[in-house]
Structure 1
Amino acid sequence: MKISKIISVFLLTTVLLFVFGCEDFLDVNTDPTAPSNVPPNLQLSGLLGTFSYEIIGNDPARTTNRWVQQLSWTGFPPSSDNYDFDESGPNNFWDSTYTRVLNNAREMEQKAEENGNPAYSGISKIIQAWTFAILTDLWNEIPYSEAFDPANTTPDYDNQEFMYGEIMRLLISALENLAEQSPAPPGNDDLLYGGDMDKWKRLAYTLIARYELRLTNAPGHTAENQANAALDALQNGFTSNDDDADFQYFNNDGEENPWYQFAIDGKWDTRDQLSAHYINLLQDLNDPRLSIQARPVGAVDNNGLVAGFDPDMVEYTGNLNGEDGGGASNFSSIGTFYSAPDAPLTWFSYAEAKFIEAEAIYITQGAEAAQAVYEDAIRASMDKLDVDQGDVDTYITSLSLLSVAMDPLEEIITQKYIANFLSLENFNDWRRTGYPELEAAVDAVTPSDQIPVRYPYPSSELQNNADNVSQTGVPVGFESLVINVWWDSAN
């Protein structure tokens, strides 16, 4: 079956699941969208498409990249740009994550095990681990152990330390599955890697490295131990940009890239533009990625792409977070590499893997030892964007050596922040390391004008599982946004 046909089937399946699933998103353990007797190939394509659109390319990346100031909302405040993000904000994401991603992933895992097809089970476990990591990184305590019991409409919450153990367990179990022979392995229904199980294995190992490094400041953990664990995992992780987890989209109605749909296409909204902080950072560094990551001012207005826009325009300007930007036409939009209708959405890149390695080597061996890997990470990012090699060399030469930098970690994380443009990982790294250094948005609504460090529990949980939400100790209101998650508690 051709990829385009698989995509069309996935989109039809997703639409049907959405239509029938909208009736009841009140209980996280109730699955109104679970397909019955769906063939594994359609289960897999539907799961990957939903995960990409709902989890990687949706609210978490958009909201948190406003908070870490790669993006800025150019409409009228208040908005999540100045932290006006209450319990209604994450409702759809929370509910759809449990009902349309996790429940369907678990069903695919169960059917794969019943049918003796471990490849599908392994992929399902990777998606589950990744999704649970995103949930617990945003909320800390989440329903897990009791979340999928249909008889329990008020599931208990599991703490983040326990969740990280489960995330690692799922990834290790996935690797065991992927090492087995499958009688009917995925092919074109695998919309990410086309059935290449070796790439799925390398992705799982690289995810393990990401999550090991996440716990560098977690209570009961040491940075050196976590860094060594990350380095061990990376020995089997990504080896080049060819391993990148890039999910392809198409220039057809309903099949477009999420950033195009949510930031460029006038049918939705165009007010997610670039932040002044981010534009200024790239300009200060003379970073050749600026013209790739950003469109010139005026390329997009409130109605979408501007017909007849002069492609020779080279002005790049961002909006100051929290300010009324007066609409899209005054600022730079997301570059076409990331926001063209048919642009792939990067879930995880080799460049990020190299930055993980660079940081881990810095922790365990020092700045000088990390230098070569740090430069490799920058090159991987620029090679992916097809930056001229001369410009790459000039840029790297212009940067301070880690061994003489005032703070080598700041240099590593700043470059990772640029390479991970639009990724949720920017928020996780900022919470974990404090980099990049940020000033709070204008007219912040949080206590003491603090930048948020978590999501508030959604109103659906406050209405239907209030006792368990209360036991987390997280209050209702903007105060909830400034309570650290477990692994961030040392900062």
Structure 2
Amino acid sequence: MKLSKLKITILLSGLLFFSAACEGFLDVNTDPTAPSEVPEDLQLSALLGVFSYQTIGNEPARTTNRWVQQLAWSGFPPSSDNYDFDESGPNNFWNSSYTVVLNNARELENLAEENGNLAYSGIAKVIQAWSFAILTDLWNEIPYTEAFDPANTTPAYDSQELVYSEVISLLEAALVDLSSESPEAPGSDDLLYGGDLVKWQKLANTLIARYQLRLTNAPGHSASEQANLALQALSNGFDSNSDDADFEYYDNAGEENPWYQFAIDGKWDTRDQLSDHYINLLKDLDDPRLPIQARPVGAVNNSGLVPGFDPDTVEYAGNVNGSEGDGAGSYSSIGAFYSDADSPLTWASYAEAKFIEAEATYIAQGAASAQDVYEEAIRASMSKLGVSQEAADSYIASLGPLAASANPLEDIIVQKYIANFLSLENYNDWRRTGYPELEPAVDPYTPSGEIPVRYPYPTSELQNNAESVSSTGIPVGYGSLDINVWWDSQN
């Protein structure tokens, strides 16, 4: 299915469900002036398109990858680059997550279960679980148990501990649905896997592993037990790069890759460029992924891609986070592999799965046991990016064995950080482990002067659900940025 057709289904779906959502927090009643029922195939295409653009490739990844210093703002401060991120910053993302993504996913789940089309309900549950995980990872306490009650416009907030248990339960329920008989099953309307339900099952298991490992330092949880739960899930997770969840985009107006729209296309804004920290990390490691993850300085300016760009000397440079920038033309921008108009957007990858396995194996069995998995994770990343086997072998040899390292966990997470370029998971791993080691941005807006460890509750909640926000005890605005989420409470 072409994205031009997808745009129609997104619009149709949005009109149906957004008007209903305005009546309640996640009201799934339909608009009486609209068709009474949108079939599963149109709902699925719309859901996947909105989730990819609004969640995976939008605000959560852009802001947090400034905070973990893969990206940097190349304009004038202040900006979210130095943590000028108050209640207005995440407002659109919170609202789109609840009133569009989750509303549509719940509607699809209900219709599919009513019709016995469990393949569709399984996919809808994966998207719900993933969305709720992202919301609670960024905010800690969020509406969950009361979120779908159309009569309740001020839903109570649930603890992150409860939400995490529900996320994993949703993924386990999705696995049951995805392996059950389904009279109607996705085909081309599945814009991620083309109806391959085995790959959806592998994705769900990989997500379970991700979220089990997230809890290694959570109160009341054992790191070794969480590691073993992650390894158990990964036994049915991604097997190779061919399983990667890569969402396709096209070089047509309004159908382009989100990073192209947000960082390359001059019609939007080209000031999200690479961080000095990240460029220097890759240079220090002599990492062959540098020219793939970064464009040379001058390839992009404030108007977008520079026609006929052909420098005499190729240079890679980033801006120092929080400092005043000289505009896009002075820094390296996001590499074409990730930011061409028709570049796919990776939701989750085999390389990430292998890094999860490497860390879990290290926790459960030690550094020597994790070595082969660690190397396979790096190779998976390099293979996906087209790095030669010879270059990958040389790079891995230069790193040395984990067993000889002063800090094997740091080695694993730093390599995962590179492989997961532009992923929200970089921020989650940094909070969970403290790696990579980072210095705060210039002139930070956080009261502590440190990198933020959570999002502030958005304006819409402060205006419409103030009592529930107040019950969390989290202050409004910048003060909230210093308060750890539950699973991060021991760091």
With normalisation by structure 2, the TM-score equals 0.97
Match of 2:478 in 1: 478
Relative to structure 1, is the Cα distance of residues 390 and 311 closer, same or farther in structure 2, using a 3 angstrom cutoff?
farther
Moved more, 307-316 or 284-293: 307-316
Deviations 1:258-278 (A, max 9, x none): 000000001110000000000
| Corresponding position of 1:10 | 6
Distance 2:239 2:198 in 1: 11
Q: 1:232 to 1:382 in 2, by over 3 A?
A: same
Opposite residue 465 of structure 2, the aligned amino acid is N
Structure 1: how far apart are the matches of 2:13 and 2:59?
A: 19
SS of equivalent to 1:78: coil
Quote the residue 1:52 is aligned against.
52
Query: How far apart, CA to CA, are the structure 2 residues paired with 1:32 and 1:309?
Result: 53
Q: Corresponding residue for 2:117?
A: 117
Contact 1:28 1:95 in 2 (8 A): no
Q: Decide whether the 8 Å contact of 2:13 with 2:46 is kept in 1.
A: no
Q: Classify 1:441/1:23 alpha carbon distance in 2 versus 1 (closer, same or farther; 3 Å).
A: farther
Q: Distance in 2 between matches of 1:377 and 1:26?
A: 47
Q: Structure 2: which amino acid aligns with 1:194?
A: G
Alignment counterpart, residue 29 of structure 1, candidates 9, 13, 26? 26
Q: Deviations over 1:442-490 (max 9, x none)?
A: 0001112110000000010000100010000100121100100000001
The answer to whether residue 305 in structure 2 is matched with residue 305 in structure 1 is yes
Residues in 1 aligned to 2:12 and 2:305: alpha-carbon distance in whole angstroms: 30
For the Cα contact (< 8 Å) 1:26–1:464, is it kept in 2?
Answer: no
Structure 2 vs 1, CA of residues 397 and 375 (structure 1 numbering), >3 Å: closer, same or farther? same
Aligned to 2:150: 150
Mean Cα displacement is larger for which, 306-315 or 421-430?
A: 306-315
The answer to whether the 8 A contact 1:25-1:95 is kept is no
Q: Which residue of 2 aligns with 1:227?
A: 227
Once the two structures are aligned, what percentage of the paired residues are identical?
71
Cα deviation, residue 8, structure 1:
1.7
Q: Which residue of 2 aligns with 1:352?
A: 352
CA contact (8 A) 2:213 2:230 kept: yes
How far 1:37 moved relative to its partner? 1.2
Aligned pair 1:368/2:368, yes or no? yes
Which amino acid counterpart does residue 117 of structure 1 have in structure 2? N
Q: Give the whole-Å Cα distance in 1 for the aligned partners of 2:434 and 2:389.
A: 31
Task: Give the Cα–Cα distance (whole angstroms) in 2 for the partners of residues 145 and 330 of structure 1.
Answer: 49
Paired residue for 1:459? 459
Distance 1:413 1:43, change over 3 A: same
Give the distance between the partners of 2:37 and 2:81, measured in 1 at CA. Answer: 43
Question: What's the counterpart of residue 412 of structure 1?
Answer: 412
Question: Is the 2:20–2:30 contact (alpha carbons within 8 Å) kept by the matching residues of 1?
Answer: no
| Deviations 1:409-457, CA, capped at 9 Å, x for gaps | 0000000000000000000000000000000000001112110000000
CA separation of 1:293 and 1:145: change in aligned 2, threshold 3 A: same
Partners of 2:297 and 2:283 in 1: CA distance: 15
SS in 2 for 1:347: strand
Secondary structure, in 3 states, of the residue corresponding to 2:216?
Answer: coil
Q: Which amino acid aligns with 1:38?
A: V
Query: Aligned residue for 2:448?
Result: 448
- CA offset at residue 26 of structure 1? 9.2
Question: Which residue of structure 2 lines up, in the alignment, with residue 214 of structure 1?
Answer: 214
Distance, in Å, in 1 between the alignment partners of 2:270 and 2:22 is 28
- Residues 354-396 of structure 1 show CA distances to partners (whole Å, capped at 9, x for unaligned) of 0000000000110011001000000000000010111111100
SS at match of 1:193: coil
Q: Is the 8 A contact 1:27 1:464 kept in 2?
A: no
Match of 1:258 in 2: 258
CA RMSD of aligned residues (A): 1.6
Match of 1:432 in 2: 432
Q: Give me the whole-angstrom Cα distance separating, in 2, the residues matched to 1:22 and 1:95.
A: 13
SS at 1:216's partner residue? helix
Residue 72 of structure 2 aligns with which residue? 72
- 2:322 and 2:386 map into 1 onto residues whose CA distance is 33
The answer on whether the counterparts of 1:25 and 1:96 sit within 8 Å (CA) in structure 2 is no
- How much does 1:17 deviate? 5.3
Identify the residue that residue 84 of structure 2 maps to in structure 1: 84
Q: How many residues align?
A: 487
Instruction: Give 1:25 shift.
Output: 6.1
Where 2:217 maps in the other structure, the secondary structure is coil
Q: Give me the whole-angstrom Cα distance separating, in 1, the residues matched to 2:9 and 2:38.
A: 10
